[in-house]
Amino acid sequence: MSMVGFIDPATVSANSGTIADRSRLVAARLQKTDGEQIFMMPYNPGRHWILLIVRAKRETVYFLDPLPGNRVVDEEAKNIVNSAIKIYNSHIARAGRKAVIWKTLSGTPKQPSSVECGYYVMRFMRTSSWILPWRLRRSMPRETRKRHTPKKQLMKSGMNGQSLFAKLLNRGIIEHLYYV
């Protein structure tokens, strides 16, 4: 099973049914995994794309928005994901937290005008699977870098870019990365 999953934006974005229906669809997707999988959920509240990265087992959601300025998560998206995680927790018989943790990832590139949000959301998804090895390599001491290149590390571990992304997200490292 892949470490990074995808939630179809056509099933969860605005005007795709009731909040309860969309929450059940997201919960059904979360329930088909072992809990360690990370889900990329492009979401369109209406005329703008954002990306939510859902970690059901840790009850954490990362929010990426390509529009400049301090943006807040759309309340409808928040309700959908919060309800889906509650449904997921009841499915696995876990009490869970009182509230899901929402984190806005800083340092994400911003769109230059008002029409590139879809491109940037796709770029966030694409970049997250291959930028991490490069960032890790740059943070290593020079001696270590010469011995262990990211490609060699991936080949030794048997991981691909997606599973490395998931592993780093589990450790909280991804929150401190600056997307190029």
- CATH placement of domain 4-128: 3.40.395.10
pTM above 0.75, yes or no: no
Indicate the domain borders of the chain. 4-128
* pLDDT tens track for 115-160: 888 888 888 888 765 544 344 445 445 554 444 444 444 445 555 4
Cβ–Cβ < 8 Å for 99, 79: no
CA distance 57 to 36: 6
Parallel, antiparallel or unpaired: strands 4-6 and 60-64:
unpaired
Instruction: Dump pLDDT digits (tens) for 7-66.
Output: 999 999 988 899 999 999 999 999 988 777 888 999 999 889 999 999 888 899 999 888
Q: What angle do CA 159, 29, 166 make, to 5 degrees?
A: 25
